[in-house]
Structure 1
């Protein structure tokens, strides 16, 4: 009974947009992918933004997207 009520309340909140403000810690989107691979960066960025959009409805303009580039060290034989 309590679970049904909470689910209905969640549906109503989603419909009216209540509780849809993005917390400050989620306004920074970090995308980790290999250096120089801009196609993969764009794909991963779109996936993360889509997830936020599904969770909160709309996205504000003040999101910060950070690209963390992975560098790999080649095995050097001595």
Structure 2
């Protein structure tokens, strides 16, 4: 079973770098561009790990994690 990871960051280049590294290691990676999108994706699927930036537009990473809890 492959672990599923959600990466949430407003920087497309950073999301791409994380996705390349993690998919190369055999993980399934889903991306989101801000906390609002990340929250919607996290509520719609089961992830083993969420990697998030703290400072993002619309909703920061800390608020997103608090909403998920």
**Greater gyration radius:** 1
Same topology, TM > 0.5 = no
Task: Give the TM-score category using the shorter length.
Answer: 0.3 to 0.5
TM-score (norm 1): 0.34
